[in-house]
A and B are shown apart, each in its own frame.
Chain A
């Protein structure tokens, strides 16, 4: 009883002159902007001490947080952060991605982690930011939101008593979103080395024909063009089907096995150049193309689809992939047509290149398993 009275009085007198008491500053910062394709790009800076209080990252408990300690808890921290922040537009949840390139920053002499984020939202509708991070460990925590496309605006504040922020934002442009996803599709095939090597494996023998169990140059350039067109069309048709189906979640296969399978297709396509078992490549290409389409869908998933433009953005991405693919064909095919008459092309380049492609792809198989 006396202890309780003492405690109360202790607290009583400490508030004797209320105006002088101070509080600590658990503060996070969200900086970024929305573009006219419905994408929010920015960074979220979180005080490392808050992360420690919420999850515990100082694994040895010595009060010194090391870079390696934070990195070892990246997955757990990411999960916590993902559950703390949400963007919605027109009441539809946006796809929030925390990028992997975390950096360290400082505010008022306190260590912060800066996490790049990207949220793909629908391009129309009212935007809301919902936040519930760290309030369960410190009710005084606040998130200061700086939207750089809001001219002359002060930071907006999210707190324990005010966890949702409405953002006035002009509707995005369908055309801009369409163009952006065409661009992304083009970039993604150029970054997809497995897709490129698969395509090249097919193209290497497009300019050749089999005679007496040997590869020889196909002298008919019209034949080459038609052949190539069929193969590319088969590939395009196939991966468009599965890209669309996977992006719309009509089919869902474990991404790891999809990636492994894609690497296997590259091995088989390149091996077929060395040991030609299949000469009619159309159906083979179609079958393998189905797997490649699922791989493209994975990349599209990382970007996130604006929920109100799904079909259009898938179409745009697909078109981008085709443009990128066409660019590769237009760059490579003329060179192969020029080189096809040379012995070194048939004996060394085709077999040699195919062998290298096989070896690289086998390495991918092991890496992806």
Chain B
């Protein structure tokens, strides 16, 4: 019955392009995934009953963030931000609040807000590992690898050697890009000796190794690393995996794996949609994902969602070539994030414009 209802709803919203008045009171006019996570619902209920309790609000924001990285769930970043905003505006001094806030701001590319928040944590606890790691990450994004490495080295004595090494080696890949092979092997040797950690650091290190490998023009090695944790992977992980597969021209792999995930997710993620469209275009068999992506891009442009500037630039480079627009968005992107991929996008956009004689 629910399936029929859903089908009727899908039919109705796709057929009726203009506003209409439903004829039946039972007509389904919108559909969303019914809440399944009892733990999240429980915290939401507690937050509703005690809307002014900072501890509950922070717990709720953390619960949102746990979901946010998964396919179809990134709306939880906005929910987390909205949840914590009253506490931030009241200048609550809880360092756990500022740590969560920093994560959200970093994700939203509000890097200066993130750094301000992290400084509030470090003022209270200078040896806070999480704050230091996040600070170093932001420094890398902001093209300050030396500062990042110094932050990583401050963790010596507080964090384990693997954590410190991974952090500082990442900074080194930007300080000494000519030594990518050596840096890569240093980290691989550590993993071979100690093994991958059993916690979430494993995924972090895998992604780091894959990134270095790909930048070192070894996509096969990158693919081997990313294959280790592909089940229940985050959107970011899946996007990186797809980039490597596309570099290997494994377009069918991308379509097969990501289509299923995106079709099952409550909502589409632009990063996955982009990779699907790229793979589909490379195979030149259909335009399903390209159509979906173009609709999403249109809305992004209407909303002037500059956080998605890199995706918009890639869309106009690879899916629907428009050198002027690709350069416009690439320039917006580079103002905020200046990692290897961001510079590559800008270089490609500039090249495309030069080729067109613009």
Least Cβ–Cβ distance between B338 and chain A, in angstroms: 10
Known interface pairs A7-B66, A22-B270, A104-B20. Does A63 touch B305 (Cβ–Cβ under 8 Å)?
no
Selected contact of A16 from candidates B99, B103, B208, B272, CB within 8 Å: B208
Among the 9-residue stretches B129-137, B143-151, B186-194, B249-257, the one with 4 or more Cβ atoms under 8 Å from chain A is B129-137
Which residues of chain A come closer than 8 Å to B10, judged between CB atoms? Answer: 109
Is B354 on the interface with A (CB-CB < 8 A)?
no
Whether B29 lies near A108 (C-beta < 8 A) is no
Is A279 on the interface with B (CB-CB < 8 A)?
no
Which residues of chain A come closer than 8 Å to B305, judged between CB atoms? Answer: 23
Of the listed residues A7, A27, A136, the one surrounded by the most CB atoms of chain B closer than 10 A to its CB is A7
Report the interface size for chain B: residues with CB under 8 A from the other chain. 92
Is A4 on the interface with B (CB-CB < 8 A)?
yes
Whether A109 lies near B13 (C-beta < 8 A) is yes
Q: A346 vs B308: C-alpha distance in the bound complex, in angstroms?
A: 81
Chain B 14-53: CB-based contact to A (< 8 A → 1; otherwise 0): 1011111110111111111111000000000000000000
Is A220 on the interface with B (CB-CB < 8 A)?
no
Among the 9-residue stretches B172-180, B217-225, B235-243, B282-290, the one with 4 or more Cβ atoms under 8 Å from chain A is B235-243
Chain A 1-29: CB-based contact to B (< 8 A → 1; otherwise 0): 01011111111111111111111111100
Of the listed residues A12, A70, A137, A144, the one surrounded by the most CB atoms of chain B closer than 10 A to its CB is A12
Whether A66 lies near B28 (C-beta < 8 A) is yes
Is B165 on the interface with A (CB-CB < 8 A)?
no
Selected contact of B337 from candidates A19, A62, A102, A155, CB within 8 Å: A19
Is A97 on the interface with B (CB-CB < 8 A)?
no
Is B321 on the interface with A (CB-CB < 8 A)?
no
Whether A11 lies near B65 (C-beta < 8 A) is yes
Whether A17 lies near B240 (C-beta < 8 A) is yes
Whether B34 lies near A61 (C-beta < 8 A) is yes
Selected contact of A104 from candidates B19, B96, B103, B295, CB within 8 Å: B19
Is B302 on the interface with A (CB-CB < 8 A)?
yes
Is B228 on the interface with A (CB-CB < 8 A)?
no
Whether A17 lies near B303 (C-beta < 8 A) is no
B240-296 with Cβ < 8 A to chain A: 240, 243, 267-273, 295-296
Whether A105 lies near B18 (C-beta < 8 A) is yes
Least Cβ–Cβ distance between A203 and chain B, in angstroms: 40
Known interface pairs A14-B236, A15-B137, A103-B19. Does A9 touch B13 (Cβ–Cβ under 8 Å)?
no
Selected contact of B310 from candidates A20, A48, A52, A137, CB within 8 Å: A20
A-to-B contact residues, CB < 8 Å: 2, 4-27, 43, 48-49, 52-53, 61-68, 70-71, 101-111, 113-114, 135-142, 144, 154-155, 157
Told that A13-B234, A64-B5 touch, could you supply 7 new A-B pairs with CB distance under 8 A? A8-B134, A17-B236, A19-B337, A65-B31, A68-B26, A103-B20, A111-B31
B-to-A contact residues, CB < 8 Å: 2, 5-6, 9-10, 12-14, 16-22, 24-35, 62, 65-66, 69, 74-75, 77-79, 81-82, 85, 96, 99, 103, 106-107, 109, 129-130, 133-134, 137, 141, 199-201, 203-204, 207-208, 211, 234-237, 239-240, 243, 267-273, 295-296, 299-300, 302-305, 307-311, 333, 337, 339, 341-342, 345
